Amino acid sequence: MRSAIAVNKDVTLVELLDRVLDKGVTVSGDIVISVADVDLIYAGLRLLLSSVETMERLRGSAAEDAGRERAL
């Protein structure tokens, strides 16, 4: 069903968080964490990620996990 083309699949953690934390549907009601909480966390994260030091750290550890080519 989906296209066979995949481009730049070695995404950085920031790219992933930009979608997974900031976008996507959230439901209200019987849900444990509120939207506002995630928004706040994400805002804090953005600031954190803009510092060079964090980028270095990310590239060393997390980028390896998040950035591993996803076999899709």
Partner 1 sequence: MNTPEEHLVYLYCVTTEPPELEGVGDRPDALYAVSEGGLHAVVCRVEAREFGESNLRRNLDDLGWLAVETTNHERVIEAVMRDHCVIPFRFATLFKTDDSLRLQLRAHGGQFRTLLEQLDDKAEWGVKAYCDFEKLEHDVRDEGSMVSSLDKAVCTASPGKAFLLRRKRQESAKTALADRAARYAEQIVETLQPISVQARTTEVVPQREAEGYGEMILNAAFLVCNGDARAFVDATNALGERYAGEGIFIECSGPWPPYNFCDPAKAAMDA
CB of 61 to partner 1, least distance (A): 6
Residues ≥6 apart with Cβ < 8 Å to 17: 42, 45, 49
Please name the amino acid found at residue 19.
Answer: R
Interaction between residue 8 and partner 1 (CB under 8 A): yes
33-72 residues in contact with partner 1 (CB under 8 A) are: 33, 37-38, 41, 45-46, 49-50, 52, 54-58, 61-63, 65-66, 68, 70, 72
7 binds partner 1 (CB under 8 A): yes
Task: Tell me the two tokens of residue 58.
Answer: 């990310």
Could you tell me the two tokens for 2?
Answer: 């989906």
* Of the candidates 66, 70, 68, 61, the residue with the CA atom closest to the CA atom of residue 15: 66
Enumerate binding residues for partner 1 (CB under 8 A). 1-3, 5-9, 11-33, 37-38, 41, 45-46, 49-50, 52, 54-58, 61-63, 65-66, 68, 70, 72
